[in-house]
Amino acid sequence: MAKTTDSSSDAKGDKPDAPSLNFVQEIVEEHNRTGRFGERVHTRFPPEPNGYLHIGHAKSICLNYGLAKKYGGKFNLRYDDTNPTTEEQEYVDSIREDVHWLGADWEGREFYASDYFPKLYDWAEQLIREGKAYVCDLSGDEIAKYRGDIKGGKESPYRNRSVEENLDLFRRMKGGEFPEGARTLRAKIDMSSPNFHLRDPIMYRIMHARHHRTGDRWCIYPMYDWAHGESDSIEGITHSICTLEFEIHRPLYDWYIQSLGIYHPQQIEFARLNLTYTVLSKRRLIQLVQEGHVKGWDDPRMPTISGVRRRGYTPQAIRKFCERIGVSKFNGVIDVSWLEDALREDLNRSAPRVMGVLRPLKVVIENFPEGQTEELEAVNNPEDPSAGTRKVPFSKVLYIEQDDFRENPPKDFFRLGPGREVRFRWAYFVKCVGVVKDENTGEVIELRCTYDPATRGGDAPDGRKVKGTIHWVSADQAVDAEVRLYDHLFLKPDPDDVPEGNDYRANLNPKSLEVLTGCKLEPSLAAAQVGDRVQFERLGYFCVDKDSAPGKLVFNRAVTLRDTWAKIEKKGK
C-alpha cells in the first residue's frame, strides 16, 4: 500500500513544503518508483452511455484526466457499452460534449467496449479450452440460489461439462440458437469463496437485443466484470480508477486478467461524490426526467453536467470544486454550498456587473427634466480593471426593487423610505418625497423622489452621507426579461430521509423554481447571448438561458451573492 503523508514526513527528510498528494497520486508515484508500468500513466473515464453525466462523474473525470496531465500521461474516453437495452446514441453524444466542456482532452482516444466484443469472445473460448469457463443452463433465479449464503454456494450441475461440449454450446449461443436467458457462460472459479463475486460469475448472457453500435451482430453480451478489466488491458491502461463499491470486484478483475495471461492494469477505488440536497444516480435522474419532476436532463435544477452548464456553471468552477473536495477512500457527503462557492469565486472574477430589477417599483424623479436622458459611467467589474466601464442611462422614470422600499422602515433598514435619501448606484443621491398608492388595494405603486444633481457619481460635495446604495434601471431604455430563480431540488440535505413507505421523491421541493416575468434590465443587456454570465448587482449571478429569443430574454439565476454587498455598503460606495 502507498505510504501516507502526515506531519512526520519532515522527519523522514521529505521536502517540508512539498504539496501533499492524494492517495491515488501516491500510488502512482510508488509505481513510478518501482517501475511497475515504467513511468507510464494512462487513465480512462469509462461511462456507460445509459444516461447523462452528473457532478459525480465530473469528480471521476477530473481525477482521471488530472492524473494523466500531472504525470505527462494519456487519458482515454471509453464508452462501457455492454448493455444494449439501456444504452442510446443520445447519451453517447451528450457524454462526449460534457467531457469536452469540462476541459478533459482525450486527444482522439475515444474507444468503445463494444469494439472489443470479438476479442472478448476469443478470450472466452480460450478460458473454455483451459477449463476455466463453462456453459450453464441454470436460470437466473437458480444461479442466485446456488450462489448460496456466507457458508458457501452449491456447484452448478453443468459445471463439469467437457471442453468440447462447452465450446459447441458457446458457439451456438453466439449463433443465436437459444432464447434469451436459456444459458450463460460462467467463469469456473470457486463456489465456496467468501467473496460472492468469485462464485462462478456470469461472463455472458443471451440477449436478443439491438445494440446502438453493433446492431444485430451479437446476441450474447459480456457482463461488466468480464469486459471492464479486459478493455483496460487492451488499451494499456495503467491505473483503472473506480468507485469504492468495486473494491469487492477487484479479485475478479485480477482473476480474469491473470487467467488470460494478459497485461495487468491496477484497479484503484475511491469514494464516490455525494452532495447534500442532491441525488447522484443515473437511475434516479432518469426517473426525475421521465416522470416530469424537471423539464429535461438539462433542467438547471439537475445535478447533470448539462444542467449545471445551462444554469450558468463554468468548467473552471467545477474543476475547482473537484480539486477542493479531494480524493479519498472514505464515503462522505459534501455540502452543496461548496459547489456554489466555487462558482461564486469564479464568476466574481469573470462576470461583468450589470443592473437588473427583478420586481420593479416605479420611481419618478420630480426634479429631473422630462424627456431627457443622462449617461452615467458604471464600472464593469471592480475585480478586473481591464473589463472597463460602460454607460447606463438615467432619466425621469426609473425602476427600483420593491424590496428596496419600506413605508415604515425598521431601524436597520438602510434603503428607501418616506423622507429618506439613498445612493442610486453609479448615479445620484435620491430622496423619497412621496408615495402613490393603488386606490383599491392600498399597495404602493409609485414613489415620488428628488435627486441631488451635485451628487453625480455617488458622493455629496457637502460631505453628507447616505447609508444605503440601491440598484435601479431607467424605464424608457429598460429591456424586459424573464428571470428564473432556483432553489434546491430537494427539501432535505439527505433526500433519502423520508417517512417509511416513501422514497426520495417525497422530498422534492415544490418551490424549486420561481419564474419572474416583467423584470427590467439595463439596456446593455439587449445584446446578451445564450450562455452569457453576468452579475446582477446585489442579486446574484445570472446566465442567459437557451429559451431566450430575439426580444425575449430569459435568465437563470446561477447562484446568489453572499454578502459582498454588505461590504460595499460599509465602504460607503
Kindly report the number of other CB atoms within 10 A of residue 187's CB atom. 23
Q: Alpha-carbon distance 325 to 302, whole Å?
A: 20
Kindly report the number of other CB atoms within 10 A of residue 257's CB atom. 18
φ/ψ of residue 549, rounded to 5: -140, 165
Pairing of strands 202-206, 184-187: antiparallel
Whose grid coordinates read 444516461?
51
Q: Which residues pair with 390 in a beta bridge?
A: 378
Which grid coordinates are listed for 370? 422630462
Report the residue number whose CB is nearest to ligand ATP: 56
Active-site annotation holds for 282: yes
Question: Pick from Mg ion, ligand ATP, none: which does 47 bind, CB < 5 to 8 A by kind?
Answer: ligand ATP
Site string for Mg ion, 293-322 (x = CB under 5 A): ------------------------------
Question: Pick from Mg ion, ligand ATP, none: which does 478 bind, CB < 5 to 8 A by kind?
Answer: none
Among residues 183, 188, 249, 282, the one that binds ligand ATP under rule CB under 6 A: 282
Question: Pick from Mg ion, ligand ATP, none: which does 57 bind, CB < 5 to 8 A by kind?
Answer: ligand ATP
Give yes or no for residue 227 binding ligand ATP (CB under 6 A): no
Directed axis angle between helix 89-102 and helix 315-325, to 10°?
Answer: 80
- 536: which DSSP letter? E
Give yes or no for residue 237 binding ligand ATP (CB under 6 A): no
Largest CA distance in the chain: 103
Q: How far is the CB of 347 from ligand ATP (least distance, A)?
A: 24
Ranges within 432-451 binding ligand ATP (CB under 6 A): none
Give yes or no for residue 46 binding ligand ATP (CB under 6 A): yes
Q: How far is the CB of 108 from Mg ion (least distance, A)?
A: 25
Number of residues engaging ligand ATP in binding (CB under 6 A): 16
Q: Which listed range, 40-48, 116-124, 283-291, 341-349, lies at the site for Mg ion (CB under 5 A)? A: 40-48
Q: Sign of the C-alpha dihedral, residues 439, 443, 444, 445?
A: negative
Q: Alpha-carbon distance 529 to 531, whole Å?
A: 6
Nearer to ligand ATP, 281 or 348 (CB): 281
Nearer to Mg ion, 227 or 485 (CB): 227
Q: Which listed range, 276-284, 316-324, 335-343, 534-542, lies at the site for ligand ATP (CB under 6 A)? A: 276-284
Active-site annotation holds for 87: no
Q: Alpha-carbon distance 99 to 103, whole Å?
A: 7
Q: How far is the CB of 77 from ligand ATP (least distance, A)?
A: 11
3-state secondary structure of 114: helix
Please count the CA atoms within 13 angstroms of the CA of 351 that sit on its side-chain side. Answer: 29
φ/ψ of residue 539, rounded to 5: -115, -35
Q: How far is the CB of 501 from ligand ATP (least distance, A)?
A: 24
Give yes or no for residue 273 binding ligand ATP (CB under 6 A): yes
Give yes or no for residue 56 binding ligand ATP (CB under 6 A): yes
Nearer to Mg ion, 297 or 313 (CB): 297
Q: How far is the CB of 521 from ligand ATP (least distance, A)?
A: 37
Q: Alpha-carbon distance 51 to 285, whole Å?
A: 8
Q: How far is the CB of 325 from ligand ATP (least distance, A)?
A: 10
Among residues 5, 32, 193, 281, the one that binds ligand ATP under rule CB under 6 A: 281
Q: Which residues pair with 549 in a beta bridge?
A: 552
Strands, sheet with 356-357, edge to edge from the N-terminal-most edge strand:
353-354, 533-536, 540-544, 553-560, 479-486, 513-521, 356-357
Give yes or no for residue 243 binding ligand ATP (CB under 6 A): yes
Which grid coordinates are listed for 484? 428564473
Nearer to Mg ion, 156 or 240 (CB): 240
As annotated, the active-site residues are: 48, 272, 282
Tell me which residues touch ligand ATP (CB under 6 A): 46-48, 56-57, 59-60, 80, 242-243, 272-273, 280-283
